[in-house]
Structure 1
Amino acid sequence: MKYAYLKQIETYLAKFKKITGIKRALDMAILIQFDSKFALFFDLSKSSSSIYSNEDFIAIKEYKAPFDIALKKRFSNSKILSVKTLENNRILEFVCVQEGSYKSVTNRLFLEFTGRFTNAIITDENSVIIEALRHIENSLRQVKPGKVLVQLEPIEIKEKDVEKIGDFKQFFKDEFDKLSSKNLANLKDIKSAQIIKKIESLKESIDALESPDELANQSEILSKNATLILANLHNLKDFDRELNLVDFDGQSLKISIPDTPKNSANLFFTKSKRLKQKSIGIINERANLEEKLSFYQNLLNLIQNAKTSSELEILYPKKTQSKQKDDNSDGVESFFISDYKILVGRNEKGNISLLKNAKKDDIWLHLKDIASAHVIIKTAKMSPSEEVLKFAAKLCVEFSVNGAGNYEVDYTKRANVKMNEGANVNYTDFKTIVVVKE
């Protein structure tokens, strides 16, 4: 973050009276809401620190580390006393006060856009560190709770001249676009490559499957041969291994057998049964693989059309173990957004499982008047935000239909959904979300 921009942003922020909301929104980004009407992200990533706005932001998770608790406790609903950029340092200082019935508490928040030492540090009015985003200990200073904060020495700022910011809101939007476009493209490439690898592997597995029709045909031939041998058993000798028989259609047939006619007939029946079972198994396996293939193809489309990095992380998180399978059955996929778990049925079995296992206060979603995946939002008796509902509706559409268009998704509490036969349902007291599929 350039010093010249920080100086201008300092002047812009000085017009706000309160911090009405504050939290860590990403691993290294703090979201601050000013006067209940304007929110900014203060991104403290070492390599790409920035200040920007993002109206399409989707929270992936809630941060609950000591730093996050202190941040909320000390600055949420606090009065801003001053905002300033430290002289010759890329450090923004907020001095805020929380006024209670009996006392007022003054706190300071230092946002350090300093590259190597980029950090967020909370202190009291006496500069004693309460918490920090990064705890640091080196020859220059210690950044740990209980220590007095030693400010970084002023430096000679060497920057190219920057234009005066005319429209701050547009500037913050442009900063996000610049920061995210490259990161988003790179992240899409990485995640798309991972999904494409899975798709190719599934296609190879499908292609490698034996033909169920061929196996069924072999099973039928063995069964007929076994029946024919038994029908002619009275004319055969135990030592016969090459049999010349006439089948039930009057056709001459030569059959080679590995054992006595009786034993060979039983062996043929056994092999016929196994081949028939194998044929059925391959049909089921193919259906399962094709179902997974369809899921990943839809997921790839979602990833390639994602608008933000946070959306990508929800769709395909870095840590695959976060896609828990604890209460999921086969045919169900899970996604996590904030404190909510969203479950999507991949097939009828998965849809039925979702309906049976959902609690009455969970939210159920389904395409209006169209066969689709069933979707459940696990609410834990909380009320999902509009953001969560829209994302769940988007998943419902993406994993149900292929064509672009406007689709209506109905949603209601699980208590209002009555199961009929299979995954067919009747439901009442619902609302509708319109989803545009590109």
Structure 2
Amino acid sequence: MKLYELKAIAKRLNNFTFISRARRIEDNTLEIMFDKSESYFFNLTRGHSFIYKAPSQRPLQGYNAPFDTLLHSLMSGGKLISVEVPNDDRILRFTIAPKSSYKDKIIYLQLEFTGKNTNAILIDDNEVIIEALRHIDADSSFRVIRPGMELLAIPPFERNEEKQDIGDVDRYLEEKFTQIEAKKLLEMKKQKLSTVAKKVKKFEQLLNKLPNEEKLLQTALEHKNYGNLILANLYQIKPYDTKLKTFDFEGNEVSIALPKDVKVNRMSDYYFNLSKRAKSKAKNVHIEQENLSSKKAFYENIYYALEQANTPYELELLVPKRAKSLRKKEKLREGELFWIEGYKVLVGRNSNENQKLLEIAKANDLWMHIRNVPSSHVIIKTDKQNLPDSVIQAAAKLCVDFSVKNPGDYEVDYTKRKFVKVQEGSNVFYNKYDTIRVTKEGVEIRI
């Protein structure tokens, strides 16, 4: 951030009288809403910090660290006394009178746009740190940033920046948001498309490696015949023999490799077991094929949805940044795991996983499915809480994006799990349901 930008922004923010809401919406981004209508965003990424203005955004996940709790309780609903740029440094300092205070009390929110030490710090009126976005220890900096420590001033630094008039501050910050959003969308889309394409390729390779059913049955018959021939010629096999040369039951000469470290009287069992395994694989290979094909189709639908996504929020919802670690933490074996505004959302990738999700869902969890269309089952873990409409809307969109490629209007039914009756496999009957309409965008394909 440039000093002239911060001064212009501070001057603009001083026109507001109170703070409606203060919260974290991404790992390094704070949203502060002023006077119930105007939201400004402060991205505090180290070495790449910036401020922009945009409509209020839903958080990608719930943030419940001590800093987040205190940021909300001390600032939301508080009176804004002033916004300053102290000592002409790259710092924005908000002076606030908290709503929750029973007597006159002042706290400060100091946003430091200082390269690698960029931070957000809550301070009391004695300059003692209440909490911070990032804690910094003595081995990293002379300024220790920890609750209960006095906040030391940043050493003065003479800056030689050209002063510029940015004119309409709101328009300037809105244009910055448009530029940043377009660049972020492009980078995120490229990265997430690459991730999903690798998954599609993986399932395609697994499908190509599946054995042929006819060949497996042929192998099973061949091994069964070998077992019978060994039994018929058991008397002439010596313990040190490696091959049995004989004639099959049609009179054709055959040579059978004899297994090592197997007693002569057990050699026929060895081939009979191989025959059973090949026969079993032949019987179940179509099940594995259906399983892999459905998962491949699932990720192809995600790929298509990513191509159509218009915001970083949609991209992050479709392919979460920490999906793998979250899945491991939750010890999830079936389905895909997502987090929407702090609520856990499970999505089945095929009929088998839909069935498993129905089994593990609790009575008050929310279940959803596209009406009259074979689709993924979606389970929202509620912990008996009332779900916000925004969570239901986002989960319904996931249900459509993961289930169908064709654009159009789809009706997604949803109800509590206790009202869903399993009939056979993942086929269900349900009542007492609500319906939400989801429009899937797409591009017309001309032939």
Tell me which of 428, 431, 435 is aligned to 1:427: 431
Matched, 1:300 2:298: no
1:62 alignment counterpart: 62
Unaligned runs of 5+ in 1: 247-252
User: Is the Cα–Cα contact under 8 Å of residues 74 and 99 in structure 2 kept in the other structure?
Assistant: no
Q: CA deviation at 1:113?
A: 1.9
Unaligned runs of 5+ in 2: 237-243, 259-264, 443-447
User: Is the Cα–Cα contact under 8 Å of residues 365 and 381 in structure 2 kept in the other structure?
Assistant: yes
Note the alpha carbon deviations across 1:374-393, whole angstroms, 9 max, x for none: 10110112222233222211
Residue type at the aligned position of 2:207: I
Residue type at the aligned position of 2:406: G
Note the alpha carbon deviations across 1:54-95, whole angstroms, 9 max, x for none: 448442322233322322232121111112233522221211
Q: CA deviation at 1:311?
A: 4.3
Residue 413 of structure 2 aligns to a residue whose secondary structure is strand
Mapped to 2, the partners of 1:401 and 1:139 lie a distance apart of 53
Mapped to 2, the partners of 1:243 and 1:431 lie a distance apart of 70
- State how 1:36-185 maps to structure 2 within 5 Å: 36-55=36-55, 57-99=57-99, 102-136=102-136, 137=138, 141-152=143-154, 153=156, 155-159=158-162, 161-165=164-168, 168=170, 170-185=171-186
User: Is the Cα–Cα contact under 8 Å of residues 397 and 437 in structure 1 kept in the other structure?
Assistant: no
Q: CA deviation at 1:398?
A: 1.8
Residue type at the aligned position of 2:295: K
Residue type at the aligned position of 2:343: Y
Residue type at the aligned position of 2:364: D
Tell me which of 340, 344, 361 is aligned to 1:341: 344
Residue 418 of structure 1 aligns to a residue whose secondary structure is strand
User: Is the Cα–Cα contact under 8 Å of residues 81 and 97 in structure 2 kept in the other structure?
Assistant: yes
Q: CA deviation at 1:273?
A: 2.6
Q: CA deviation at 1:97?
A: 0.5
Residue 147 of structure 1 aligns to a residue whose secondary structure is coil
Tell me which of 255, 273, 280 is aligned to 1:277: 280
Tell me which of 289, 294, 301 is aligned to 2:292: 289
Residue type at the aligned position of 1:146: G
Q: CA 1:50–1:142 in structure 2 vs 1: closer, same or farther (change >3 Å)?
A: same
- State how 1:386-401 maps to structure 2 within 5 Å: 386-401=389-404
Larger mean CA deviation between 198-207 and 358-367 belongs to: 198-207
Q: CA 1:378–1:139 in structure 2 vs 1: closer, same or farther (change >3 Å)?
A: closer
1:243 alignment counterpart: 247
Mapped to 1, the partners of 2:227 and 2:438 lie a distance apart of 61
Q: CA deviation at 1:324?
A: 3.9
Using the size of structure 2 for normalisation, the TM-score is 0.82
Q: CA 1:245–1:62 in structure 2 vs 1: closer, same or farther (change >3 Å)?
A: closer
2:368 alignment counterpart: 365
Q: CA deviation at 1:264?
A: 9.1
Tell me which of 360, 383, 387 is aligned to 1:380: 383
Mapped to 1, the partners of 2:267 and 2:162 lie a distance apart of 90
Q: CA deviation at 1:362?
A: 1.3
Note the alpha carbon deviations across 1:255-310, whole angstroms, 9 max, x for none: 526499x9998776554333211223433333333233223323333444444445
1:193 alignment counterpart: 194
2:210 alignment counterpart: 209
1:316 alignment counterpart: 320
Tell me which of 347, 353, 357 is aligned to 2:356: 353
Residue 143 of structure 1 aligns to a residue whose secondary structure is coil
Q: CA deviation at 1:145?
A: 2.8
Residue 105 of structure 1 aligns to a residue whose secondary structure is coil
Mapped to 2, the partners of 1:106 and 1:387 lie a distance apart of 35
Q: How many residues align?
A: 423
1:249 alignment counterpart: none
Mapped to 1, the partners of 2:200 and 2:56 lie a distance apart of 29
- The root-mean-square deviation of aligned C-alpha atoms, in Å, is 3.3
Mapped to 2, the partners of 1:25 and 1:150 lie a distance apart of 28
Residue type at the aligned position of 1:91: I
Q: CA 1:101–1:27 in structure 2 vs 1: closer, same or farther (change >3 Å)?
A: closer
Q: CA 1:154–1:81 in structure 2 vs 1: closer, same or farther (change >3 Å)?
A: farther
User: Is the Cα–Cα contact under 8 Å of residues 57 and 308 in structure 1 kept in the other structure?
Assistant: no
Mapped to 2, the partners of 1:271 and 1:116 lie a distance apart of 63
2:12 alignment counterpart: 12
Q: CA deviation at 1:366?
A: 0.8
User: Is the Cα–Cα contact under 8 Å of residues 119 and 134 in structure 1 kept in the other structure?
Assistant: yes
Residue type at the aligned position of 2:30: I
Note the alpha carbon deviations across 1:294-350, whole angstroms, 9 max, x for none: 2332333344444444544442323622114756454x2211223211111122222
Q: CA deviation at 1:194?
A: 3.0
Larger mean CA deviation between 264-273 and 300-309 belongs to: 264-273
Mapped to 2, the partners of 1:226 and 1:56 lie a distance apart of 73
Mapped to 1, the partners of 2:399 and 2:24 lie a distance apart of 29
User: Is the Cα–Cα contact under 8 Å of residues 203 and 293 in structure 1 kept in the other structure?
Assistant: yes
User: Is the Cα–Cα contact under 8 Å of residues 54 and 176 in structure 1 kept in the other structure?
Assistant: yes
Mapped to 1, the partners of 2:249 and 2:118 lie a distance apart of 88
Note the alpha carbon deviations across 1:174-231, whole angstroms, 9 max, x for none: 222222333332233333333333333332232223212221233346668989x89x
Q: CA 1:128–1:226 in structure 2 vs 1: closer, same or farther (change >3 Å)?
A: closer
Mapped to 2, the partners of 1:434 and 1:345 lie a distance apart of 19
Residue type at the aligned position of 2:103: K
